[in-house]
Amino acid sequence: METVRPVFAPQLYIPNGVRDVDFYINGLGAVELRRFSNDDGTIHVSELSINGAIFHLHEETRNPASFSPLRHQGSTVTIGLFVDDVDAYMARAVAAGAKVTSPVQDYDYGYRQGDVMDPFGHVWMFESRI
């Protein structure tokens, strides 16, 4: 029997009716691996990867515990992404439509970090060790 190692692959909820998720490609450098569309052409699921780390965008479901952050004007999670150049990732994300929620700075615990909110309300923290 093959041993399967746990791999973290978050599923981020987006509002129903979304057709364009180019922010993740242009703003984060993600590659779309697959897409499952609804009959009307809207996105049901988009599977993306950033440097081999997979995550999914999924339209909201009927599960009341799983929803797009836009529905409640906030997110319950921050997605940390370790990168080589925090400032470059922040600038790229902002140019693609993200809003800065915490500017880039160095912290005394040894990280350089900055946060943005993407167009669907998800909070991303770009970080690197200093």
At 59, list the tokens. Answer: 């339209």
**Taking residues 3-9, what's their average pLDDT?**
81
44-60 pLDDT, tens digit per residue, is 999 999 999 999 999 99
Residue 112 and residue 86 in contact, taking contact as beta carbons nearer than 8 Å: yes
Report d(CA 80, CA 130) in Å as an integer. 16
- Cβ neighbours for 59, distance < 8 A, ≥ 6 positions apart: 13, 14, 15, 16, 17, 18, 38, 42, 43, 44, 45
Q: Which residues contact 105 (CB under 8 A, 6 or more apart)?
A: 112, 113, 114
36, 45 contact by CB (below 8 A): yes
- Mean pLDDT in the chain? 94
Domains of the chain: 11-61+71-129 (3.10.180.10)
The whole-model pTM stands at 0.90
Alpha-helical regions (H) of 17-129: 22-28, 69-72, 86-95
Q: What is the pLDDT of residues 11-45, one digit of tens each?
A: 999 999 999 999 999 999 999 999 999 999 999 99
